[in-house]
Amino acid sequence: MYVVTNRNLQPDANPEERFGPRFNQKGPNELRLAEAQKVGGSWQVNILDDRTTYNGEDMWASEAAFLKAQQRMRQNHTSALFFVHGFNTDFGDALESAYAIEQRYNLEVIMFTWPSNGGGTLEGLSSYQDDKRDAALSIGALDRCFEKLADYFKKYAEQACKRKFSLALHSMGNYLFKRLLSSSIYQGETLLFDNIVMLAADVNNEGHADWVNRVRFRNRLFITINEDDAALLASKALAGDEQKARLGHWPRNLTARNATYLDFTDAANIVAHHNYFTDDSALQNERIKEIFARAFTGQKAERGLTFDAGTGAYRVL
């Protein structure tokens, strides 16, 4: 999998710590590209030089990575997913999250990892607010990723593999996305994605339609909900009154005109899960796995679900 990051480089660290908990030494908009592979249970992380040679031509490493990914997708008949993780996720955890998606859904995954603090469990208000600040400072880096991808799709339109390319954002990754969508630097670059999936979004439900309606995409924009999501309930409690009901656990006020809401609250095996798109016990429910397999590959994930006119969401059982 390819990894794009604005984290600080730690070249002498173990592969799982190759990128650290702070911003790139040149600033939060500076990006590095790496290729990560899990071999025999251990990670190999290769930091790519800015320039490389591909098919005898000198080019940017990101351009060569784009062409190689397109070739693999064509050969393996796979779709691609650009994944942005959430709060409290160090580099090793980010790798494992993206790898779980790659393996469970047979996808070509490109991960954007930003310097969230990590630590494995919720560490309280200070850590949470630190991550929110770092997410807000990462919007320029994420926007650069989208712009570069859009440029390559245009340049190689005749050579593209014609497979689907979608975007998934988890938890506080959606706060980063919100800040980008609310910024003047956003110019509709997300139109390059077939589907966009906002997973367990750790943003306020209140007012979300104002910025969600700005999102551009080709096929569908999905927003997932679980009323019993323990991580989002804890998130709501962290910051008092200003931290309102989270979009990812509140099946009310679902008013974005361009969104398709998926309510997993009553689905078998969902319980209080926050990572229900990769959690083994949640995915024992074949319907849940089927929905995400469709959502992540540019398809109609709501097909076959019952629409609840009272909430405005499709119910997953």
221 in Cβ contact with 296 (< 8 Å)? no
Exposure string of 211-244, with b = 16+ CB inside 10 Å and e = fewer, is bbebbbbebbbbbbbbbebebbbebbeeeeeeee
Tokens of 315: 């119910």
Q: Tell the residue number behind the tokens 């591909």, with chain if given.
A: 54
115 in Cβ contact with 142 (< 8 Å)? no
Dist. CA 24–CA 27, nearest whole Å: 5
45 in Cβ contact with 92 (< 8 Å)? no
Q: Would the pLDDT of 283 be above 50? A: yes
Q: List, for residues 226-269, the tens digit of each pLDDT value.
A: 999 999 998 888 766 667 899 999 999 999 999 999 999 999 99
Q: pLDDT band for position 118 (50/70/90)?
A: low
Contact residues for 224 (Cβ-Cβ < 8 A; gap 6+): 197, 198, 199, 200, 201, 248, 262, 264, 276, 277
Tokens of 88: 């409290």
Q: pLDDT band for position 60 (50/70/90)?
A: very high
Q: Would the pLDDT of 300 be above 60? A: yes
Dist. CA 153–CA 291, nearest whole Å: 27
Contact residues for 169 (Cβ-Cβ < 8 A; gap 6+): 83, 84, 86, 176, 177, 196, 197, 198, 199, 201
Q: Would the pLDDT of 301 be above 90? A: yes
Backbone angles phi and psi of 134, in degrees to 5: -65, -35
Q: Tell the residue number behind the tokens 């497979």, with chain if given.
A: 163
Q: Tell the residue number behind the tokens 């979004």, with chain if given.
A: 201
Across 103-117, 119-133, 217-231, least confident range = 119-133
Please indicate whether residue 155 or residue 119 has the higher confidence score (pLDDT).
Answer: 155
SS (HEC) of the chain: CEEEECEEECCCCCHHHCEEEEECCCCCCCCEEEEEEEECCEEEEEECCCEEEECCEEEEHHHHHHHHHHHHHHHHCCCEEEEECCCCCCHHHHHHHHHHHHHHHCCEEEEEECCCCCCCCCCCHHHHHHHHHHHHHCHHHHHHHHHHHHHHHHHCCCCCCCCCEEEEEECCHHHHHHHHHCCCCCCCHHHHCCEEEEECCCCECCCHHHHHCCCCCCCEEEEEECCCCHHHHHHHHHCHHHCCCEHHHCCCCCCCCCCEEEECCCCCCCCCCCCCCCCCCHHHCHHHHHHHHHHCCCCCCCCCCEEECCCCEEECC
Q: pLDDT band for position 158 (50/70/90)?
A: confident
Q: Which CATH number fits domain 2-315: 3.30.70, 1.10.150, 3.40.50, 2.30.130?
A: 3.40.50
Residue 240 has what pLDDT? 61
Q: Would the pLDDT of 121 be above 60? A: no
Q: Would the pLDDT of 125 be above 90? A: no
Residue 157 has what pLDDT? 87
Q: List, for residues 201-235, the tens digit of each pLDDT value.
A: 999 999 999 999 999 999 999 999 999 999 999 88
Q: Would the pLDDT of 120 be above 50? A: no
Q: Would the pLDDT of 84 be above 80? A: yes
Q: Would the pLDDT of 194 be above 50? A: yes
Dist. CA 234–CA 122, nearest whole Å: 8
Q: List, for residues 14-50, the tens digit of each pLDDT value.
A: 999 999 999 999 999 999 999 999 999 999 999 999 9
